[in-house]
Amino acid sequence: MTAVTEITAITATDSWRRRIGGWSADRFPPAMAVVGLPTFLAAHLLGQASRGPSPVSVRLGGGAVAGWLAAVGFLLCVRIFDEHKDFDDDVRLHPERLVSQGVVRLRELDVMQAVVLVAIVGYCVWADGGVGPVTTTFGIAFAWLLAMRVEFFVGAWIRPRLVLYALTHAVVTPLASWWMFTSGAGRLVAAPVLVPFLGASYLSSLLFEFTRKLHAPEDERADVATYSSELGPARAARVVAVMVVLHALAMATALVMVRGVDGADSVFVWGHALGWAAVVAASGLVAFARRPDRAGHGPIEGLVALNLAVPAVSVIGVVLVGSSVKAVWGW
C-alpha cells in the first residue's frame, strides 16, 4: 500500500493519533525536522560567533537541540496557519487532503499548535533566564506570522497580487532567522554580519516560493496562480536566477564577515562551494528561460534546493572549523 493510499484510507472515525499522523505524513513529514537543522544551526552558530573576540568557543549541546526543536515547532506553526489561510483553495484544488475532507479539523490543528507554542515560549524563557532578547525576537517573528495568518487584513486585495504577496510573506523568514541568531548570541547584537545573513534569509524564502510555483507551460493550470503564468515562464526563470546569484553573494559576504573564527582556508573552500552551487542553479534556470519546457524544468527544483542547502552548511562549516568547539550535552 502506498503512502497516498494509506492517507486516503484514513476516515473521520479513526483515532486522533492516526488522523493527525496521516496529516503530518502528508503536510509536515519528519523530513521537515532534518531540513530545518542546517537552517537553525547556521543562524545559531553565527550568533555564537558574534559574541566575542577570537577564538570563539562554540557550545553544542542540549540547548542547541532544544533550539532546533523550537525552530521545527515554528515551522509547524507556519504550516498550520497555512492550512487556515489556504483552506478554501485547498478544498477546491486538493480535495484529497485530510483537512479538505474534514477528516482532520482545523480546530484539532489549533490545539496542537497551542501546545507547540507553549513549548517554544518555554524554550525562549529558559534560554533568556526570564523574558529577554530570545523571547522578544521570537515574539516579533510570531507577530508577523499572525499578520500573515489574516493576510495583513487586506486579503482580497493582496491575494491577486502574487509577487507582492510573496514579498510581504517572505519577511517572516529573516525575522525567524534573527530569533535563531539571538538564541546563539544570548543577547541583542548589532553585528554587521546580520545584514548579509538576514538578506540571504529573505532571498531563500523567495527562492523557495518562486521555484515551487515556476512551471513549464504544459504543466500550468488555469485555476492555479503561478509566477510563471503571472510573469511568463522565461521572465520568472530569469528572476529566480537573479535571486540565486544574489543569495550566493549575500551568503559569501556573511562568510567573510564572520568574526572571531580562524579559518581563511575554510572560507575559501566553502565560498567556492556555494559559488559553484549558484552557478549550476542559475545556468539551469537560464536554460529553462531560453527553452521553457518540461524537460528543462525537471532539474530546477533540485538545483535550487542544493543552492539553499550549501550556503547554510557553509556557514556551519566555517564557524565549526574556525572555532574552539565544546560539546556540552547538559542543559
133-149 pLDDT, tens digit per residue, is: 999 999 999 999 999 99
Would the pLDDT of 324 be above 60?
no
Place of cell 566575542: 52
The confidence band for 328, taking pLDDT boundaries of 50, 70 and 90, is: very low
Nearest to 69 by CA among 21, 119, 115: 119
Give whole-number Cα distances, 171 to 164, 206, 210, in Å: 11, 9, 14
pLDDT reported for residue 23: 96
- At residue 58, what are phi and psi to the nearest 5 degrees? -90, 130
With contact defined as beta carbons under 8 Å apart, do 196 and 261 qualify?
Answer: no
Please give the average per-residue pLDDT across 33-42, as a whole number: 89
pTM here is 0.91
Q: What is the mean pLDDT of residues 155-182?
A: 96
**Confidence check: pLDDT of 261 > 70:** no
CA-to-CA distance for 214 and 328, rounded, in angstroms?
Answer: 44
Model pLDDT for residues 96-128, shown as the tens digit of each residue: 999 999 999 999 999 999 999 999 999 999 999
Residue 34 banded pLDDT, cuts 50, 70, 90 = confident
Picking from 159, 235, 161, 250, the residue whose alpha carbon sits closest to that of residue 199 is 250
pLDDT band of residue 222 (cuts 50, 70, 90) is: confident
The predicted pLDDT at position 54 comes to 58
Res 1: pLDDT: 46
